[in-house]
């Protein structure tokens, strides 16, 4: 099996079990071996953050009809383990629970994130034989051109690497928006030192294999990816996200938007933390042909957050 201290991913395969299970150490070694390299836009202002730190900077609130939201836990008192008990149905519940990032009290600087306090959060899924890297940001500033229409607290994005029976990578899938997930064959995906390169969309943090402009929910705006600050996730602690106390929570990772009551959730913190991206399309910049909302206030829910 995989040597957890080796950089090689050549794994002897049981002929009667083509995808033999990986031990925790082997999963971790694989996650370290393929930790992605991120390139942020030169004008990016909101960077990665440790989700646990974000929880410490938030309160937990519950929406109540005709009344002010109820504060369940105050600033710095939200127990991460209890968040896991909030079900996925919270996303459409009448009395949603949400993490309210206290930027008003702590200052707007906390929305910047902290690359030095981030983690290499990975998830190995034996059912699909995939390795997914989860990226968390304290704030989503939306794609340029939409003003505040798609801004919200909390932002989860990811990429997924498909592995073969020898645990060699065959494909990279990048989270975009509104079902526009993009894929590249491993041999065609950008890489450095044998690890995937990801271009992060300005403000929205959508992930792309190349620089350029990419379609969003509205024709009024494009996601823009450019080669700015380089960040190597391999320099951060490698952590199995399924062991984090908040994993599996259905909480909203940010305050509820003013139009949430009317089913418009584009300014509300997303639930995030789904499983691996199971498929993608080999799309090119500006060439995506999908029904896009012409108006930013008519929201098409994203399947990638």
Is there a domain that residue 16 lies in? no
Give percent helix, percent strand, percent coil of the chain, each to the nearest 5: 15, 30, 55
**Three-state secondary-structure class, residue 77:** coil
Is there a domain that residue 117 lies in? yes
Looking at residue 143, its pLDDT comes to 67
**Three-state secondary-structure class, residue 46:** coil
Query: For each of the chain's 305 residues, which pLDDT tens digit applies?
Result: 444 333 334 443 343 345 678 999 999 999 999 999 999 999 999 999 999 999 999 999 998 877 778 999 999 999 999 999 999 998 877 788 999 999 989 998 999 999 999 999 999 999 999 999 999 999 988 766 555 557 889 999 999 999 999 999 999 999 986 567 899 999 999 999 999 999 999 999 999 999 998 877 666 778 899 999 999 999 999 999 999 999 999 999 998 865 545 444 456 678 878 889 998 877 554 434 333 334 333 333 333 33
Q: 160 near 276, Cβ under 8 Å?
A: yes
Q: In 10 A of CB 19, how many CB atoms? A: 17
How many C-alpha atoms does 13 have within 13 Å on its Cβ side?
A: 12
Lookup result for tokens 């645990």: 167
Looking at residue 284, its pLDDT comes to 52
Q: How many residues does the chain have?
A: 305
Range of the structural domain that residue 245 is part of: 24-262
Q: Write down the pTM of the prediction.
A: 0.85
Q: How far is CA 197 from CA 99, 139, 188, 250, 296, in A?
A: 31, 22, 11, 30, 30
The closest alpha carbon to 179, from 49, 269, 290, belongs to 290
171 DSSP β-pair partners: 162, 185
- Cα–Cα distance measured from residue 157 to residue 282, given in angstroms and rounded to the nearest whole number: 19
Contacts of 254 (CB under 8 A, 6+ apart): 98, 99, 100, 101, 152, 153, 154, 268, 269, 270
- Cα–Cα distance measured from residue 102 to residue 108, given in angstroms and rounded to the nearest whole number: 9
Looking at residue 56, its pLDDT comes to 97
What total of structural domains would you count in the chain?
Answer: 1
Is there a domain that residue 274 lies in? no
Is there a domain that residue 250 lies in? yes
Is there a domain that residue 296 lies in? no
Is there a domain that residue 280 lies in? no
Q: 195 near 36, Cβ under 8 Å?
A: yes
Is there a domain that residue 258 lies in? yes
Is there a domain that residue 133 lies in? yes
The closest alpha carbon to 261, from 96, 40, 75, 129, belongs to 96
């Amino acid at each position: 099996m995989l040597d957890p201290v080796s950089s090689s991913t050549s794994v002897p395969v049981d002929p009667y079990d083509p995808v033999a299970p990986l031990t925790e150490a082997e999963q971790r070694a694989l996650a370290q071996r393929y930790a992605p390299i991120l390139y942020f836009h030169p004008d990016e202002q909101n960077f990665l953050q440790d989700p646990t730190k974000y929880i410490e900077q938030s309160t937990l609130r519950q929406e109540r009809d005709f009344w002010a939201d109820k504060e369940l836990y105050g600033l710095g008192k939200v127990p991460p383990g209890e968040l896991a008990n909030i079900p996925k149905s919270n996303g459409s519940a009448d009395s949603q629970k949400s993490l309210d990032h206290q930027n008003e009290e702590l200052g707007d600087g906390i929305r910047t994130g902290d690359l030095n306090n981030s983690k290499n959060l990975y998830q190995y899924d034996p059912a699909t034989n995939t390795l997914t890297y989860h990226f968390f940001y304290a704030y989503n500033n939306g794609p340029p051109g939409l003003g505040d229409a798609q801004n919200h607290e909390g932002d989860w994005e990811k990429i997924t690497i498909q592995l073969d029976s020898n645990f060699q990578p065959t494909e990279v899938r990048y989270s975009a928006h509104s079902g526009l997930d993009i894929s590249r064959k491993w041999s065609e995906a950008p890489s450095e030192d044998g690890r995937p390169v990801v271009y992060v969309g300005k403000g929205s943090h959508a992930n792309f294999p190349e620089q350029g402009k990419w379609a969003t929910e509205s024709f009024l705006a494009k996601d823009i990816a450019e080669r700015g600050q380089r960040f190597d996730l391999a320099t951060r602690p490698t952590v199995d996200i399924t062991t984090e106390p908040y994993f599996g929570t259905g909480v909203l990772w940010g305050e509820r938007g003013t139009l949430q009551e009317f089913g418009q959730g584009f300014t509300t913190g997303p639930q995030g933390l789904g499983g691996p991206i199971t498929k993608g399309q080999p799309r090119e910049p500006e060439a995506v042909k999908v029904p896009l909302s012409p108006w930013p206030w008519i929201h098409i829910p994203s399947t990638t957050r």
